[in-house]
Chain A
Amino acid sequence: MKLDPSFIWTAFVGLLPAIPTTLILTLVSVTCGFVIGTGTALARMYRIPVLAQIASGYVTFIRGTPMLVHLLLIYFSLPLLIDALSAQFDLGWNSAKVPMIAFAFVSFSITAGAYMSEVVRSGLMAIDRGQMEAALSVGMTVPQAIRRIVFPQAVAAALPNLTNSVIGMLHGSTLAFTVSVVDLNAKAQIVASTNWKYFEAYLAAAIIFWGLTIAIERIAAAIERRISLYSRGGVA
C-alpha cells in the first residue's frame, strides 16, 4: 500500500462536516465545566460544610480516573437512572429517546468541571488578599467585590490554564466515538472504511485538529493581551 496524497485532500473535505460536532462537544463541555468548576472551587475555598467535602471528593475522583472511564460509566449508568425515574413518575419516555451526544455532553461536562475547578481555584488564589480588602473598605459587598474586582483579575491569571483546559477538552472530544457520536475521529474512520486508507484519513484529521489547536492558542493569546492590560508595567 502506498501513500495516496490525493486521498488526504478527499478525506480532508469529507471531514469538514464533522468539525461542528467536535466544536459543539468542546464548547458545551467547557461552558458547563466552567460553571460546575466555579461552584466547586467556591465551595472549597469558602469551606462550606458538606458541599466542600463533596466537592473535593468529586475533584479527586475525576482527576484520578481517565475521561474514558467517566464516559463509559455515564453511558451505562445514566440510562438506568433515566428509566427508573421515568417509570417512577410515569413520564412516558425512556433512555432510548435520549440522543447519544447527550451522554457525551454530560460526561465531558463532569470531567471538565473537575479540571476547571482547579483552574478557577488557582486563579482566585493568585489574587492578592488586599484586593478583596480594598474592595470591602470602599463599601462593596462580598458578591460585588468578587464580581467586580476579584473575578476579572482571576480570569486574567487563569487564562493560560483555561486555554490548556479548552485544548484538552477539544482533544478529549475524540473519545465521543465510543458512544457512536460522529465527531472528527469517528468521521475519519468512516471516510477511510470504504478504501482502507486509514493513514491518509487520520492524517487529514490530525491536520484539522492541529489547525484548531493553533487557532485556539492564537485567540487565547489575543484575549490575554487584551485582558491583562491592567497589569502591564512601565509608564506609557
Chain B
Amino acid sequence: MEYGFDITYIFDFIPKLLQVLHLTLAIVAGAIGIGLIVGLLAALPRLYKVPVLQRLSQVYTSFFRGTPILIQLFLFYYGLPELLKLVYIDVTKLPVLFFVIVTFGLNAGATISEIIRAAVTAVDRGQVEAAYSVGMSGYQAFARIVLPQAIAIAVPVFANLVIAMLKETSLAFALGVMELTGKAQTLGTLTRHFMETYIALAIIYLAVSFTLERILLLFERKLQRHMRRDAADAERRWRLWRGRKPMRERSPEVSGKEVPRYEA
C-alpha cells in the first residue's frame, strides 16, 4: 500500500457515507417492524402452550438464533425465490434490499419472541390474580395489567436488540446492498484510502448507535416510571438529563439467556 495516512479524507468521507445512512436505518426499521409482528406471533403459542404451533415456534426460534445471520442472508437470498416458486410467486425481480429486510426481520423476530416470552413470564402471577379478583376479564387483565408491565420489563433488552440490529446491517454488504459498509468499501476501493474510510464508517456507526441508545433510554424511563417514584429516580433522571448513563439495575428474569446475542 503506497499511500500515507491522511486525516482529511475522514472528514471528506463522512458526508459521503451519510448519504446512504437512510438505507441502513430503513433496514433496521423494517427488520424491527417485521420482527415485532413475527415475534409476537411466535411467542403467543409458547405462552399459551398451543400443541403443534408451540413446537414450530420453538424450531423457528432455535434455527434463527442458532445460525449466523450471514448464513441466513445467503440462504434467503438464494433459497427464497425457489421456495416461493413452488407456490407460483415470482420474487426474482425484487431488489436485494427486500431479501435483506426479510432475513433481518425473521432473525429479529426470533429474538423478540424470546424477549416477549421472558417479559410476560417475569410479571408476577399475583398481578393476574389480583386483576381477576377485582372482576377483570382475561383479556382486560392481559391488556391492562400484564402487558404494560411486560413492556416495561422488555424495553431495555429490546433496546439492546435494536443496537445489535444496527450493527448487523453491516452484513448486508455481502449481498451487494449499498448501505453504510457497502458504500465505505466502494469509497475505499476508489480512493485506496481504506483506513480513513473505515475510521469514518466507525465514527458514523458509533454516533448512530449512541443516538439510538439515548432515544431508547428516554423511552425506557418513560415506560418504567411506575416502578420507582423515589429519590433514586430523581437522581437517575438527573444523570440522564446530564447525559450520563444511569446505573443499569439487574432484572434477573430477563437477563441471562434472553439477552440478544451480539454479532457482527
Contact = CB atoms under 8 A, between A and B. Distances in A.
A1 B262 CA distance: 35
Contacts of A199: 75, 78-79, 82
Given A206-B71, A206-B75, A67 B66 contact: no
A65 B213 CA distance: 13
A196 to B, nearest CB: 9
Contacts of B250: 122, 126
Interface of B: 1, 5, 62-63, 65-72, 74-75, 78-79, 82, 163, 167-171, 173, 181, 185, 188, 194-195, 198-199, 201-202, 205-206, 209-210, 250, 255-257, 259, 261-264
Interface residues of chain A: helix, strand, loop or mixed (majority): helix
A220 B259 CA distance: 16
Given A65-B167, A68-B264, A174-B71, A79 B256 contact: no
A188 B79 CA distance: 14
A62 to B, nearest CB: 10
Contacts of A160: 255-257
20 contacts: A1-B82, A65-B206, A66-B167, A66-B171, A66-B181, A66-B264, A67-B263, A69-B205, A73-B198, A76-B195, A80-B5, A163-B257, A164-B259, A164-B261, A174-B70, A175-B70, A175-B171, A202-B75, A209-B67, A210-B67
Nearest to A168: B261
Contacts of B262: 63, 67, 115, 165, 168
B257 A65 contact: no
A203 B198 contact: no
A66 B70 contact: no
Contact of B67 (A165, A198, A213): A213
Contact of A206 (B72, B185, B256): B72
B263 A168 contact: yes
B181 A68 contact: yes
Contacts of B257: 160, 163-164
Interface string A46-79: 0000000000000011011111110011001101
